[in-house]
Amino acid sequence: MIISLLTGIAILLYLLPGCFVARMATDLTKRLEVERYRQYKQTFVGRARNWPGVNRLQENPRLTNRLVQWFGIDRQKIMEIISRLQWGVTLEEVILAKLVTGSCLLLSLMFMIGQLYRGAEFAYTQLIPAVLSLVAFFLPTQLLVWADERAKAEIRQQVPVFFSIVQSLVQSGMPVHQAVKTVARRFEGRLGKELRHLELAEKSYGNWRMALEELAYRWDVDSFVSIAMEISEALKKGVSIAPMLALQIEEQLKQQEDEAATYVNRLSIRLLPFVIIFMGIPLLFLVMGPAFIGIRENL
């Protein structure tokens, strides 16, 4: 019995340091993972805004979806706009901004109702906080939509000019992907900036053609999408893209001319009331003024 007891104690003393070493190794591994994650956040996510409530919304998708439904946010549309503009804004930050401004709107309405319930006289100045809160409530999503529409319009205007230069380089014998890269490096504007990023996207999608298609579909500009599809088909078939580019550019220039003519016609109609007010009324006095003066002298 004594021999068995001593044998058990010896085995315990032999295995006990190993248990502590394993525990120490596990703790050290956890500390290394925590330190590595901290360095990762400082390196890649160091510019992220740590607003109160954003982390909770990110960790609770159910609450996020519920707030999206309450506020009437088109989740897919806002996410697409954020990915296109690349402002560094997240959907959770938009929801949080709407939550704060909506709370301010509710508090301002409750305060105004309380003042009226106490018998205070109604004044239009009491509506100022509610109106400002209402404007701030709709501002985050509307600002994203306005910026996205402006960026799309900018790309739509730059497509014919950009690809006309690409067409000239292709006709001179340069491959189309090399021509696009060359023009993008020197082209000032949003389209050139977006096409300069194709070198990074090419590594993600495998080839330059798929990266161009993804960029065109992401921006959803008809002229850009049609040219990207023509380039893709030409690369697949191994034919020259110059004649197709010339045809597409000619059609888009004609379309822009038609849009400009339509805009000018609409603008002239909108300016017609101002022309009547600022020119018609003075001309009426110039024509009818002497007649009125003569009638007054006769009287």
pLDDT in tens, 255-299: 878 877 787 777 777 777 776 777 766 776 676 666 666 665 665
Residues 201 and 183: beta-carbon distance below 8 Å: no
Place of tokens 């500390």: 31
b/e sequence 44-80, b meaning 16+ C-beta within 10 Å: eeeeeeeeeebeebeeeeeebeebbeeeebeeeebee
pLDDT in tens, 166-192: 888 888 888 888 888 889 888 888 888
- How far is the CA of 228 from the CAs of 200, 209, 216, 249, 265, in angstroms? 18, 8, 7, 12, 32
What ranges do the domains of the chain cover?
54-149, 152-257
pTM: 0.69
Give the model's pLDDT for residue 245: 83
d(CA 245, CA 247): 5
Cα dihedral: 267, 268, 273, 274 (round 10): 80
pLDDT in tens, 14-71: 444 444 444 444 444 555 555 555 554 554 444 456 667 777 788 888 888 888 888 8
**pLDDT tier, 119 (very low <50, low <70, confident <90, very high otherwise):** confident
d(CA 156, CA 48): 32
